[in-house]
Amino acid sequence: MDVIAVVFALLLEQWRPATHWPLQRVDSLLRGAIDGLPERVDGGREWHAWLGWSLVVGLPAVLAWSIGAALGLLGGVPCFLFIVAVLYFTLGFRLFSHRFTAVRDGLAARRLDLAGAALAQWQGGPLAPTGGAMPATTPETIARQAIERGIGEAGRWLFGGVFWFVLLPGASGAVLYRAADRVAPRWCAVPVSSMHPGFAVVSSVALSWLDALPARLAAGAFALVGDFTGAVEGWQGATRERPGEPRALMVAAAMGALGMAPNAPADEAERMPARDDAAAVDAFDGAGWDADSYAVAVRQMDGAAALVWRSLLVWLGVLGIAALIF
């Protein structure tokens, strides 16, 4: 039933994204609890931070399980519908894919300014070089940064939620992971003077623990459906350079599976035309990048979206086989 519930929730979310008022109301209530709880339980000790995290993350998960169990007493259909509703609000492509699509459409239209503006808005800050002498605003750099962020968001909104939903009873796993994912960035963004620093440490450590297995399983799926050797090399590189960051490992494996070496300098500058060659400049946009540069960037982004879809299908297939066996 778990696989069927995930499929139903994803299909429903594709038909109508969960961006309407119920989600906004629930999100507002959760933000209020996340922001207000530390003041009530902060006694200056680290275990108070664990207590606060357990309350703001564990209680919603227990509540979701309790409601599902109570509905299960009435029959399988009410429980199933409740689980689908919870999954609909806690995972899905459309919660982040519209920003990815905005960057991709800007590149497809050969509008570097629109693609860069969409990516900057998504990141919440200015663009930055990804390595070496690569400038911050090239088609390849924009595509690379959008792919890296998109893969990270897929880990948040798909793989992490699906993993914990399957592992824990009822809908508790999906709620647990989503609450933990919301707590960590908000507590880490609060000034240290406002509360004990243990709240930020505890929330980030707990989220890393929750991400550890699903991120590695997602990286393994990327290797199976993409360039296996490149994914393994990216995995190994991230393990050496950024230990203890599961999402960085997942992103590096995905970039390797796509054949995109992490932070590799671009060579677009070598393909730029001489500015005094009017005939050549006609084939380029105002920033000096030719149609091939944009086509490559668009293909990379399309490949990343396909990689996530194929990996998700692998996950669902494995879960379906496991459900039939056990």
User: How confident is the model at residue 212, as a pLDDT?
Assistant: 93
Residue-level pLDDT at 274: 40
Residue with tokens 């824990």: 168
CA 110 remoteness from chain centre: 26
Is the alpha carbon torsion for 174, 179, 182, 185 positive or negative?
Answer: negative
Walk along the chain (326 residues) in steps of 10 and give the mean pLDDT of each run. Answer: 87 76 60 62 68 85 94 90 91 82 92 88 73 65 92 92 92 92 79 63 90 94 94 90 88 93 46 39 49 88 94 90 78
Residue 265: per-residue pLDDT: 43
Residue 286's pLDDT is 45
pLDDT, tens only, 141-192 = 899 999 999 999 999 899 999 999 999 998 999 999 998 998 888 777 766 4
Name residue, tokens 């690379």.
144
CA dihedral 177, 181, 187, 188 (to 10 degrees): 130
Residue 285 has what pLDDT? 46
Answer for the pair 310, 220: CB distance below 8 angstroms, yes or no: no
Q: What pTM was estimated for this model as a whole? A: 0.84
CA distances from 9 to 23, 144, 215, 305, 310 (A): 14, 29, 21, 19, 18
pLDDT at 280: 35
Q: Which of 49, 60, 52 has the alpha carbon at shortest distance from 26?
A: 60
What DSSP line would sit under 288-315, residue for residue?
S-BHHHHHHHHHHHHHHHHHHHHHHHHH
Backbone φ/ψ region at 42: left (φ over 0), alpha (ψ -120 to 50), beta: beta
Contact (CB, 8 A) for 88 and 66 = no
